Amino acid sequence: MHYCIKLSGTQGDGVDTVGEILALALHTAGYWVYAYRNFSSRIRGGYSSHEIVIADSPVRAKKQHPDVLVCIGEDGYGRDAQTVSDSSLVLADTSLHLAASAQCYSLPFTDTARAASQVQHKWIVALGAVGALLSLAESELEVPVAAALMHKGEGIIAGNLRALKAGYALAPHGLATSATFTGDPLGSTPPSIWEPGSG
């Protein structure tokens, strides 16, 4: 089983942090994980993506097409829309104004973040939706989220955890698609996460 989730957006908006959190949570849950970052040579702005391949055996390469593409912002969708296949699932922020279909779900990541805590937490909302899609327990993401943000203080952590919970409530249910995740963890944590990157 090789299953790929691609997070695609604007550099500096949180896509890289959320990709690292998701990779760590899946690795801790007992999956082999290959993660690949693609980013611009600047602090903020421009395209950025984090591609995470989950497997039940060692994996050292990306897939040709993501099973799930999560997009927030034109930077991500404009570049990665062509990477999806007929069986891929797209979770896109409502700000992109995409037509809903059996493969494409328009979800209010940004608006939900604004209501739950603050708009900067939109990628944490998306993380919650992805966690629910993968049948990860909320606690399996709460721990790495809190750890990643420990240096920012309890108030920021609490806001992000509210955003995470709100994201779980957004996840589409009853998906009849081959993109549905069906993997089983190995029962113990694999020895490492393989995570190269590109500039």
List, run by run, the mean pLDDT of 10-residue segments along the chain (199 residues).
Answer: 90 90 92 85 74 87 89 82 86 84 86 92 96 92 94 92 94 55 62 57
pTM: predicted TM-score of the whole model, two decimal places: 0.87
CB contact set of 2 (below 8 Å; sequence gap of 6+): 53, 54, 55, 59, 63
CATH code at 187? 3.40.920.10
Asked whether the beta carbons of 55 and 1 are under 8 A apart, the reply is yes
Total structural domains within the chain: 1
Domain residue limits at 148: 2-198
| β-bridge pairing 193-194 and 2-10 | unpaired
For residues 127 and 159, give the distance between their C-alpha atoms in angstroms, rounded to a whole number. Answer: 14
User: What pLDDT sits at residue 197?
Assistant: 56
What pLDDT score does 91 carry? 92
